[in-house]
Structure 1
Amino acid sequence: MADSRQGVCILGATGSIGQSTLDVLRRHPARWRVESLGACRDVEGMLAACREFRPRCVAMGERAAAAQLREALRLEGLPIEVLEGATGMEAIAADAASPIVVAAIVGAAGLRPALAAVRQGKRVLLANKEALVMSGALFMDEVERHGATLLPLDSEHNALFQCLPRPDAVRHLELGVSELILTASGGPFRQRPADQLAWVTPEEACAHPNWSMGRKISVDSATLMNKGLEVIEARWLFDVPPERIRVLVHPQSIVHSMVAYSDGSVLAQMGNPDMRTPIAHALSWPERVESGVAPLDLTRVAALQFEQPDLARFPCLRLAFDALQQGGVAPAVLNAANEVAVEGFLARRLRFTQIPALIEAVLEQAPSVAADSLEAVFRSDHEARELAARWMAAYGERL
């Protein structure tokens, strides 16, 4: 009997988004099957997923991790093919056996696999915001050219998608939409005195008050760079100019984003802060399925608070808006510099307050060129990383 389930490929399977996706799939074994999985280096996490879901193929970003996983699978008698490197990740993303691809690889490394899925005309559930930050116009052109279905997994962009007038209006906001409002929790340092931010530790920055996330995105949330990247992503995903995108700090993380209309209406998507909600929505759209998330009890929430972001204390958000206005490869430069800065902070080679300082310095030094090809984007990404590494070597202050 033919298997009627849809095959799913999860890129970034051992990360927080990947694990949440697997939990949703676990609840609907008759609807979807795990066809393939990709991860960078987490052999134990991948082995556990292989034991439970028995994918046909997996890809590991690092060669040594791939070799280790192959041996572990052999010893357990699991006949699962193991690919490796960037080519392996792109191969599973493009494989016709997986009409649904969850693109959840963190950082610039996720761009090429996401594009590989798009070019096969698949349903791509995009959690890798860097793909649109780095190559927004190019990426969206590929989506249109190949007839792919792009559904946002970030809770904020998924919320906007749900609040827009109709699905085919995603890139055509003439239907009375006046403003997109992204909400931000404010991170763990929303009320920390500015003169104490230089002493923030990686452990503190990774302790998000509402969400369970990986270390890199947790630091981005603490600096508000995550919200800046989301602003750039929203600009391309929904085809709106920067001046029609606003950020509000909302500490409760209950309202995930809002769409304001010209008639004065504001539509908000609400829910408990759990990534399984947007994942279940995107997997089953236009239908709805159970996600495992507890129902929202507004009587327990009691109050919803909103405030303007403090750009003086958290300049990363301002830098993101600046890069978006500058255009060209500036957003790719911003992203590359931020990745280097966050790595430096997590390695205690850079203070928390030096993250925006490094990014601003790289934006000022990097050549301003058009983002008219992927080659230009990746070249600027590489140059920005070199500039960031030199700045950190010269000015970085160890914790």
Structure 2
Amino acid sequence: MKKHLFLLLTIGSFLSSLQVIRAQTNEIETEIIDSVYSEVLKESREFWVKYPDNYNPDGTEKYPVVYLLDGFSLKENLEAVYDNYWGHYLPHMILVGVSNRTNRVRDLTTSQIKMRRGQAMDQDTGGAENFTQFIEKELIPYIDSKYPATSYRTLIGHSYAGLFTVHMLVNHQHLFQNYIAIDPSLDWDDQKLLMEAKEKLSSESYKGKSLFVSLAAEQLHMWDEDITMENIMDDSSEFTLFARSIIDFSTFAESQKQSGLNFSWKVYPEDLHGTVPLPTMRDGLVFLFKWYQFKSPQKYNNPETTVEELVELLKEQEQIYTQHFGVPTAPMIDEMLNGYGYMNMQMGQPEKAFMFFEMNIKYNPTSANTYDSMAEYYESQNDKENALKYLNQAYEISGDDYYKERIEALNKE
């Protein structure tokens, strides 16, 4: 490992350090602007793709995917949340930001209307089903064929895109496991989708699906400051219909335990419609991946925890991940396995260090860094023969002169 992790005593500081300390210089292009021509929409649709930090083009690992609607305008929000929370809270994932800069209202609204809030609509509306066909028949297959993606998908949408997100859950739940509807426009067309959603949530199964909904409540009424969360449902004016629709949907969804939907919602009293995406993405993703978080995290840092206990904890974690993702999945991302190995080396617990390094090689056999770390372990044990063995494997995989230089230096000792 080219850069050492310092001794870390808590899981929090450990994860914080992981996000700024990288084992190897990564010269791979990790962010791509791509596009696909849609026969459904009769136009080319642009999107961006961001690989996770541990992406190895020569590896075989595949990743869950987050699809973000209005992807270019909300890009920084998603990246800020993801970059700060991957590791303990979120898995490595591929992020996809889909452009809705053209024909946004047409693509994201769920029915055709001529008037909205007392004014004539001068844009095409009601194209959500068409846009759904684009996502299902063209975009997802393209992503799945070109990028290392699994079928575990999350959809995030704000405002009209939040309306579309609820539409996708209610009418096309097979496409995504997770949904985040940010301040969704559920007032659309006299709450037509809201009524449909209520009917389906009360009669259909949504087991295995998760939804997080947010409401920006800094301005519940456009001009009446006396409208609050406590009395808004008593108001019947057009000015509060947007917020009332979200509250109505959320309280109903919360009550439908028999639907099997994993549901949560949150009111943001100090946020406006334009500022609520950032905190919603943070809270929503943490909620959706609550199952991903470590069980008994303190035991990983406790010097008194035995190797056998750690192995059992990791087995349990692996079972949870594999069950949710539907494919065999390592119990920790590679950076964490490596980091815990170094942490235990510095804490004078070589048996634990070896276990973490060995497990990292098992799950990441094409990563030169995993072999380099095992070589450092053997160097710490004054085992030159095995250190050279693993350094040679790292060099064979990568061809990096760094490993060649380390081999030559170790041979001179």
* Fold shared, TM-score > 0.5 on shorter chain: no
Q: Could you tell me the TM-score, scaled by structure 2's length?
A: 0.32
- Normalization by structure 1: what TM-score? 0.33
